[in-house]
Amino acid sequence: MPKDTPAQQSVRILGLDPGLRHTGWGVIEISGNRLSYVAGGVISPDATLDLAIRLKILFAGVKSLVATYAPDECAVEETFVNQNPVSTLKLGHARAAAMLAPAEADVPVAEYKPNLVKKSVVGAGHADKKQIAAMMRILLPGSNAEADAADALAVAVCHAHHRSTLIKLGVKRS
């Protein structure tokens, strides 16, 4: 079978867990049903900076990740609405900055609800950060990601599990 057949073609996914204080990121590759860890980390703008500067740092950081890792697809965790509307709005700004960088590079961006991400990787929609990090170490050998970076890897893994359904349904991604 030739190397470039769809069954053998690998897909690189950038997962993002946006936040103003910490934006987790993780890059995985899928080949068939095999997941491989590529890289992960956190973009952490100085919390004392103005909002616009922090958003600029997030955008530039994600743009750099897109240039460095050349993902085929990107997945971002959706915003959950919390009790503080100002915090929710600021998180929305962080998501926009993070989503704009791959979109600018014509990388398709899919969005997933936090409970679906958790259920996809842990089996429970209300898993905590420690459970997610532990599961990422099992699913992605070589990954020692914690907290936000592990959450971003979980978003990428969730997308790996659900992307074929999106393609079959013809769902247009951002």
Residue 1 in domain: no
In CATH, what number is assigned to the domain containing residue 83?
A: 3.30.420.10
Q: Which are the contacts of 56, defined by CB distance < 8 A and separation ≥ 6?
A: 97
What's the structural domain count of the chain?
1
Residue 124 in domain: yes
Residue 3 in domain: no
Residue 123 in domain: yes
Residue 112 in domain: yes
The per-residue pLDDT for range 102-156, each reduced to its tens digit, is 999 999 999 999 999 999 999 877 888 899 999 999 999 999 888 899 999 999 9
Tell me how far apart the terminal alpha carbons of the chain are, to the nearest angstrom.
33
DSSP 117-136: HHHHHTS-TT--HHHHHHHH
Give the per-residue pLDDT at 128: 87
Give the per-residue pLDDT at 167: 52
Parent domain of 69: 10-169
Residue 4 in domain: no
Q: Which are the contacts of 153, defined by CB distance < 8 A and separation ≥ 6?
A: 15, 24, 26, 28, 37, 40, 136, 140, 143, 145
Residues annotated as catalytic are 17, 77, 148
The per-residue pLDDT for range 20-53, each reduced to its tens digit, is 999 999 999 999 889 999 999 999 999 999 999 9
